[in-house]
Amino acid sequence: MNLLLMFLLFAAPTASDITLRLSRWKPVDMPYDSSGLSARQRQLVDKLVQASRLIESIYWQQSDPEGLALYRSTKDQNLRRLLMINGGRFDLIDENKPFTGSQPIPPGRNLYPAGLTRAQIEAYVKSHPDQKDSIYSSYTVLRWNGQKLDAIPYHVEYRSFLEPASKLLREAADASDDKEFADFLRLRAQALLSDDYYPSDLAWLDLKNPKIDIIFAPYETYLDDMLGIKTSFESALLIRNEAESAKLALYQKYVPDIQDALPLPAADRPSKRGHLTPMEVMDAPFRTGDLLHGYQAVADNLPNDPRIHQAKGSKKIFFKNFMDARVNYVVLPLSKYLMPEQQSARASAEGYLAATVLHEICHGLGPVYSRMNGKEMDIREAIGPVYSALEEAKADVVGMFGLQWLVDHGALPKNRLQEYYASYVAGIFRTLRYGTAEAHGRAEMMEFNYLVEQKAVTRSGSRYAVNFEVIPGAIAQVAKELLEIEATGARARAEAWFNRYDKMPSTLAETLRSIKDVPVDVEPKYSFPVMDLR
């Protein structure tokens, strides 16, 4: 037997390893309740579900086509389930380790040629400056063509999926009695075939309290650990939760005041007055692509395009059914192990919702561009690969800064403050169980280590207590640091900050490992099949 064959045999997944990895996920039904919908609305939903399945197919092409082939060919139901949870062969909640085969995760997934390095891309662009824009585009994949590096537009690379998806969106538009939503769907159908999402994103932000809405675009850069710029496709079908949407009005009223209160020079916190800040609390009975695999988002802030942020702001979406599942099955059970009893009892679904609402609001606050040598630069580009973690951390700590501000200014009752902080810290423990490879985990590890260093969180045995006197000042300090890093595009400062604070302390790792009976996250079970498996 040759060495390579031996290596491959030993790297094959074992049944017990797969079972162990699966045990971290709690299957939870995410039912589609069509009782409040008209026949035409149900028809509309049906078209959007079909289109969302095509988004799922594109995602696998971007993430791990070999994983998809394995998903289609294997008879092992447990392996199939684990592949679907992760959208590939790499465990997103275990430092991206491969759970089948021995190939480590490619940093650029299938968005870049295998083996290509960041240094090679930079050298290539230096000698081919005319290709710089297309190579650094968020909507191209890179492929070798002999000695030439081709940047292939998404609408070309994924045409076989995007053309039928575009058609389905137009058919959905025909079934919609909401004229603005129908107009948006037609614009988005065009965008899929041109990679120009700007006009349809503007139309999406103009929707006024739609009963049915959809996220349907390449938005996030979580798959791209090479340059941190290539987007992956995602979809979420959304049905409005009327009662909960109404409760958001209070936060919306104060968004401009929180922006004005940030510890930054005025030029780095452009006024939010008069800007649209649409928010929707929605139930999501179907999500695909980047919104299906791994980490289950309970909220989103979109689009990411800074031109849209400056022109119109962004839309915050809270996935109510996912929020409820997370708090009930993960956050509250976990906090009982990690916090003193009287503090874990303070953590609550409402406190968690408040922190999450502010997190999403604060993705849209702070600087819009980095100012470097008098020039405006895209923050994502200025900061590089650590940007995703930096931006998640900024949203967390500026969010808590904002909650404190709302209490200090009488907009929220003072007696809720401890509940907000306890819920925020309980939420950190949940995120850290994912490890620190993913942007949110790396962000919250940094926040937690900083809070412990500042004695805003203190350890006693295996439990961690919030010091309610100290935490407001510590949060204000770290918020200022992260906002300044973004405003000045300080890549080296960002990397140094994360290098100092983003390591998991062994004591905490041990405590987290010892908790076996709380799932790491929920695995959504939809009323609709996720993939066409022919």
Residues near Zn ion, by CB under 5 A: 392, 395
Minimum CB distance to Zn ion, residue 392 (Å): 5
Measured CA distances, 42 to 33, 54, 264, 326 (Å): 10, 19, 48, 28
Minimum CB distance to Zn ion, residue 439 (Å): 8
Q: At 98, which amino acid appears? A: P
Give the nearer residue to Zn ion in terms of CB position, either 67 or 435. Answer: 435
Q: Are 522 and 325 in contact (CB under 8 A)?
A: yes
Give the nearer residue to Zn ion in terms of CB position, either 79 or 428. Answer: 428
In 65-220, which ranges are E strands? 90-91, 97-98, 140-145, 148-153, 212-220
Q: Are 483 and 264 in contact (CB under 8 A)?
A: yes
Minimum CB distance to Zn ion, residue 299 (Å): 7
Give the nearer residue to Zn ion in terms of CB position, either 191 or 393. Answer: 393
Give the nearer residue to Zn ion in terms of CB position, either 344 or 431. Answer: 431
Give the nearer residue to Zn ion in terms of CB position, either 304 or 348. Answer: 304
Minimum CB distance to Zn ion, residue 76 (Å): 34
Residue 343, C-beta contacts closer than 8 angstroms, at least 6 positions apart:
335, 422, 465, 466
Give the nearer residue to Zn ion in terms of CB position, either 332 or 355. Answer: 355
Minimum CB distance to Zn ion, residue 442 (Å): 12
Minimum CB distance to Zn ion, residue 395 (Å): 5
Determine whether 494 is exposed, middle or buried from the number of CB atoms within 10 Å of its CB (0-12, 13-18, 19+). buried
The gap between the terminal CA atoms of the chain, to the nearest Å, is: 36
Give the nearer residue to Zn ion in terms of CB position, either 201 or 392. Answer: 392
Give the nearer residue to Zn ion in terms of CB position, either 175 or 383. Answer: 383
Minimum CB distance to Zn ion, residue 363 (Å): 6
Minimum CB distance to Zn ion, residue 390 (Å): 11
Measured CA distances, 435 to 36, 320, 332 (Å): 40, 25, 19
Measured distance CA(340)–CA(335) in Å, rounded:
9
Q: At 476, which amino acid appears? A: A
Spatial CA neighbour of 322 closest among 28, 23, 22, 24: 28
Minimum CB distance to Zn ion, residue 220 (Å): 10
Give the nearer residue to Zn ion in terms of CB position, either 142 or 395. Answer: 395
Minimum CB distance to Zn ion, residue 96 (Å): 19
Give the nearer residue to Zn ion in terms of CB position, either 166 or 304. Answer: 304
Name the token pair of 15. Answer: 């049944």
Give the nearer residue to Zn ion in terms of CB position, either 157 or 392. Answer: 392
Minimum CB distance to Zn ion, residue 301 (Å): 6
Minimum CB distance to Zn ion, residue 359 (Å): 6
Residue 425, C-beta contacts closer than 8 angstroms, at least 6 positions apart:
339, 347, 448, 451, 457, 464, 466
**What Rg do the C-alpha atoms of the chain give, in angstroms?**
23
Measured distance CA(364)–CA(259) in Å, rounded:
9
Measured distance CA(506)–CA(503) in Å, rounded:
9
Measured distance CA(66)–CA(429) in Å, rounded:
33
Give the nearer residue to Zn ion in terms of CB position, either 395 or 445. Answer: 395
Spatial CA neighbour of 337 closest among 168, 508, 472: 508
Q: Are 85 and 293 in contact (CB under 8 A)?
A: yes
Determine whether 111 is exposed, middle or buried from the number of CB atoms within 10 Å of its CB (0-12, 13-18, 19+). buried
